[in-house]
Chain A
Amino acid sequence: MKEFAQLLELLALTPSRNRKIEALKDYFARTPDPDRGFALAILTGAMDFKNVKPAVLREVVTREVDPALFAMSYDYVGDLGETIALIWPHHGGEEELPSLTELIELFQTTSKAELPKLIASLLTRAEINERWALVKLATGALRIGLSARLAKTALAEMSGKDLQEIEEVWHGMTLPYTALFAWLDGKAERPDIDHAARFHPMMLSNPIDEDKDLLKLDPADFSAEWKWDGIRVQMIASRGRVSLFSRTGDDIAAAFPDVVDAVFGDAVLDGELLVGRAFEASSFNDLQQRLNRKLATAKQLAELPAFIRVYDMLFDGQEDIRALSWSERRARLEAWFAAHPQTRLDLSEVLPFASWDELAQLRRTGADEHGHEGVMIKLRSAPYVPGRPKGLWYKWKRDPNVVDAILMYAQRGHGKRSSFYSDYTFGVWKGNEIVPIGKAYFGFTDEELKQLDKWVRTNTVASFGPVREVKKELVFEVAFDSAQLSTRHKSGVALRFPRINRIRWDKPVGEAATLEDMSVFVSAT
């Protein structure tokens, strides 16, 4: 555990990417199995202890520390895990902490009732840096600025293997990755992968630059589809088993049995997960209710049925067709649909257009009349290339809606921003009062953040814990993708994907929007 704690600290504090890779390589090379496999799982976020939750840790600590003092400390430190590690008042068990493997086993096998006692004893036994690592590990919220990709890059550099190959092998591996390391160490053959049954990194698009790109591109070379407002998924049906992966490769099949159980035929498909009846997509809010759960309830399955709007095919049966052009893959996809009628899969429509102007017109009406997010433009001759290759797929989003709103409250951020007031709640006029319509914490530059932080500190009228109410004197131009009716918000309106577009230092609050102004956006979606 000591070595792992040192690694975590080094990763957290070393700004240089190369040094992080060096440290990871070094750790993986000298740590035995299965410790290094578990470490890899923790670093890549593949580890989850279902009983160890932040609430449990908080409870363990507030049994030992006055809750008011804990609250003041948390407010100061800004990171729950770190607060717990620093505030723990007992030190110096003689016994060293168990190894990483033993620790993980303890977390997984200890009953909910026994867990607080275990955690308390571990915290007492740990040295200061270990305590920090222990809490990070238990909660799974590392927040050390390390991506799974960087960990895999270190594996690639350590072994001389290709990163792409590691990614592909990765998803077939189970904890603690002993077979993976044996292969990386050159002591075993590459693990056998059922290619058709594993997650394949997705192909992503680039935003189009209307002024530059469209002039250069010939519309005849491209196909277009609606950009759907759901989540991107990869559906893998192979030999009677169906998996559903999110864009990051998380298996979410358990939450969508209605889709998974209704699939016929073998294929690896790329599409958008949506909810709605008869392939009529409803709002993202509805989808979110299903996404937030690991398992769906019977009521949700009945009221919010899910389906996938399919737009690409990676494997036709067991055959890898990623090297084929989009046109050929599309033909295969249509043939597959014809041969395997589906109830929860639906083909994404290809939009006919002869010129970019015509497509621009379609994009506008699609946004205004149906609330589409925009259009996707795909090069007909392009193979399926994982990552974000340039020039093959473009997204052409609808123009964002903007509204001038008034800053009402500010809250300090977490992690890197724990000393800045960086989360802003803003509102619009409802008669003579201002009602909140949303919250945003990005869209501004670091320099603007400093200015905003200063403005908040000098214009505070009241404080509630970490939240400050400010003078109603600053206007933000807030951009958002859509607005929906909501019973959860006092204003009755909820914004989708709000961000600060501009800070209107110049604008008087009297000219900010009213709730009536907002109704235009609501009816449009």
Chain B
Amino acid sequence: MTPFLDRDLRVKPINAFIDPPQPQARAIITHGHADHARSGHGAVLATPDTIAIMKTRYGEDCAGTFQALEFGVPLQVDDVQITLFPAGHILGSAQVLLEHKGQRIVVTGDYKTRPDRTAQPFELVKCDLLVTEATFGLPVFQHPDPLDEIRRLLRTAMAHPERAYVIGCYALGKAQRVISLLREAGYERPIYLHGAMIRLCALYEERGIALGDLRHSLDVPKAELAGQIVIAPPSAIKDRWSRRLPDPVLAVASGWMSVKQRARQSGVELPLIISDHADWNELRETITATEAETIWVTHGREDALVYWCQQQGRVAEPLNIEAYEDGEEEGE
């Protein structure tokens, strides 16, 4: 069967694009990260959370019109039925199920299948054609339990209370996940935020995700930050900003941190392997469970996953969609 989705993720019968990199008349947006949600589209269809995130980041008028679609509620557009299912990646992140003339296509967007208090839990959707992400599509990526990573950080912070612990992470999704994990691990002290983190943390709280006592790191005397945890963008540690911290330890929270040489190269002293993407095992389990016969692989290390799918007797091919440079993916 010829798919009704083409390889740059255009839903042909209704001429709508999923996560288009250029402004389009009709766009379905899986989630709020900048490599998926861009401003300037005509009409945007997304979950209410994603729309709220886009408006917070890009302004109220960042698209012509917005149409909010709740999870699990089918929407008929001409002869295509669209349903959004949770992708478990960040708040509001969705997989897109497209149905047309008996054919089911799922575009996962970015996803993970592990529990995360800051995102609606992933739901598996069976389909004929699966378009999957592959950010961590190599068998070297086997993410550990994130709570163990957080506990390791807390142990180190306890052993060296004279230093400040800067957790480098992206402002949308990862920051809130890390804060929530810290709370889950029983850390009740205030968590300090770099300015770039404040707006989106506030948005998460407004939308019902409790993050506990958060404070702006600005104007806090240096000595008071010893032994404290500060959440900041990874680049901030190289900024003059970090001079206000006592002997800071850079801890970056990302799936990339499993590769020690890589952590070392970027000057990360305390790598935390915490990812909002499916690891190699989750990718394979998900692909198998969807029972899809055809797999399109995008966003990441496509080759290994395509190879694996083919070994399993599936039809698989990489999509060459323009992605962010290695390691700069906003979600990680």
Q: Chain A interface (Cβ within 8 Å of chain B)?
A: 9, 12-15, 65-66, 68-70, 72-73, 76-79, 82-83, 86-87, 89, 128, 132, 143, 145, 415-416, 418-419
17 extra interface residue pairs, beta carbon distance < 8 Å, beyond A72-B304, A72-B307, A73-B139 = A12-B264, A13-B268, A13-B270, A14-B269, A15-B269, A66-B308, A70-B139, A72-B303, A73-B140, A76-B301, A77-B259, A83-B140, A87-B139, A145-B264, A416-B261, A418-B261, A418-B262
User: What is the CB-to-nearest-CB distance from B115 to chain A, in angstroms, rounded to a whole number?
Assistant: 19
Assess the A82–B303 pair: CB atoms within 8 A: no
Q: Is the interface of A mostly helix, strand, loop or mixed?
A: helix
Assess the A419–B265 pair: CB atoms within 8 A: yes
Other-chain contact of A128, B144, B268, B269, B301 (Cβ < 8 Å) = B144
Nearest B residue (CB) for A415: B261
Q: Chain B interface (Cβ within 8 Å of chain A)?
A: 138-142, 144, 258-265, 267-271, 301, 303-304, 307-308, 311, 326
Known: A83-B140, A128-B144. A13 touches B269 (CB 8 A): yes
Known: A13-B264, A69-B304, A73-B139. A82 touches B144 (CB 8 A): no
Assess the A132–B260 pair: CB atoms within 8 A: yes
Which A residues are CB-close (under 8 A) to B140? Answer: 73, 76-77, 83, 86-87
User: What is the CB-to-nearest-CB distance from A63 to chain B, in angstroms, rounded to a whole number?
Assistant: 14
Complex: A14 Cα to B264 Cα, angstroms: 8
Assess the B311–A66 pair: CB atoms within 8 A: yes
Which A residues are CB-close (under 8 A) to B308? Answer: 66, 69
Assess the B142–A86 pair: CB atoms within 8 A: yes
Complex: A86 Cα to B139 Cα, angstroms: 8
Known: A65-B139, A83-B140. A416 touches B265 (CB 8 A): yes
User: What is the CB-to-nearest-CB distance from B255 to chain A, in angstroms, rounded to a whole number?
Assistant: 12
Known: A82-B259, A89-B139, A419-B326. A73 touches B264 (CB 8 A): no
User: What is the CB-to-nearest-CB distance from A93 to chain B, in angstroms, rounded to a whole number?
Assistant: 16
Known: A13-B271, A72-B303. A86 touches B258 (CB 8 A): yes
- The 9 A-B pairs with the shortest beta carbon distances in the complex, nearest first, are A86-B140, A73-B140, A72-B304, A87-B140, A87-B139, A73-B138, A69-B139, A79-B261, A13-B269
User: What is the CB-to-nearest-CB distance from B299 to chain A, in angstroms, rounded to a whole number?
Assistant: 16
User: What is the CB-to-nearest-CB distance from B248 to chain A, in angstroms, rounded to a whole number?
Assistant: 12
Which A residues are CB-close (under 8 A) to B307? Answer: 68-69, 72
Known: A69-B139, A73-B304. A86 touches B261 (CB 8 A): no
Give 15 A-B contacts (CB < 8 Å), ordered by A residue.
A13-B264, A13-B270, A69-B308, A72-B138, A72-B304, A73-B304, A82-B261, A83-B140, A86-B141, A87-B140, A89-B142, A143-B261, A418-B261, A418-B262, A418-B265
User: What is the CB-to-nearest-CB distance from A318 to chain B, in angstroms, rounded to a whole number?
Assistant: 47
Complex: A54 Cα to B12 Cα, angstroms: 52
Complex: A145 Cα to B144 Cα, angstroms: 26
In this complex, the member of B138, B267, B269 whose beta carbon has the largest number of chain A beta carbons within 10 angstroms is B138
Which B residues are CB-close (under 8 A) to A418? Answer: 261-262, 265
Which B residues are CB-close (under 8 A) to A78? Answer: 261
Complex: A65 Cα to B263 Cα, angstroms: 25
Nearest A residue (CB) for B141: A86
Which B residues are CB-close (under 8 A) to A86? Answer: 140-142, 258-259
User: What is the CB-to-nearest-CB distance from B318 to chain A, in angstroms, rounded to a whole number?
Assistant: 13
Complex: A378 Cα to B311 Cα, angstroms: 67
Which B residues are CB-close (under 8 A) to A69? Answer: 138-139, 304, 307-308
Which B residues are CB-close (under 8 A) to A66? Answer: 308, 311
User: What is the CB-to-nearest-CB distance from A61 to chain B, in angstroms, rounded to a whole number?
Assistant: 10
Which B residues are CB-close (under 8 A) to A128? Answer: 144, 258
User: What is the CB-to-nearest-CB distance from A503 to chain B, in angstroms, rounded to a whole number?
Assistant: 23
User: What is the CB-to-nearest-CB distance from A173 to chain B, in angstroms, rounded to a whole number?
Assistant: 31
Which A residues are CB-close (under 8 A) to B301? Answer: 72, 76
In this complex, the member of B260, B265, B271 whose beta carbon has the largest number of chain A beta carbons within 10 angstroms is B260
Which B residues are CB-close (under 8 A) to A87? Answer: 139-140
Which A residues are CB-close (under 8 A) to B144? Answer: 128
Known: A73-B304, A128-B144. A9 touches B260 (CB 8 A): yes
User: What is the CB-to-nearest-CB distance from B168 to chain A, in angstroms, rounded to a whole number?
Assistant: 14
User: What is the CB-to-nearest-CB distance from A465 to chain B, in angstroms, rounded to a whole number?
Assistant: 12
Complex: A15 Cα to B267 Cα, angstroms: 7
Assess the A416–B264 pair: CB atoms within 8 A: yes
Nearest A residue (CB) for B304: A72
Complex: A376 Cα to B60 Cα, angstroms: 75
Which B residues are CB-close (under 8 A) to A419? Answer: 262, 265, 326
In this complex, the member of B259, B261, B262 whose beta carbon has the largest number of chain A beta carbons within 10 angstroms is B261
Nearest B residue (CB) for A71: B304
Nearest A residue (CB) for B160: A19
Which A residues are CB-close (under 8 A) to B268? Answer: 13
Complex: A76 Cα to B271 Cα, angstroms: 18
Which A residues are CB-close (under 8 A) to B258? Answer: 86, 128
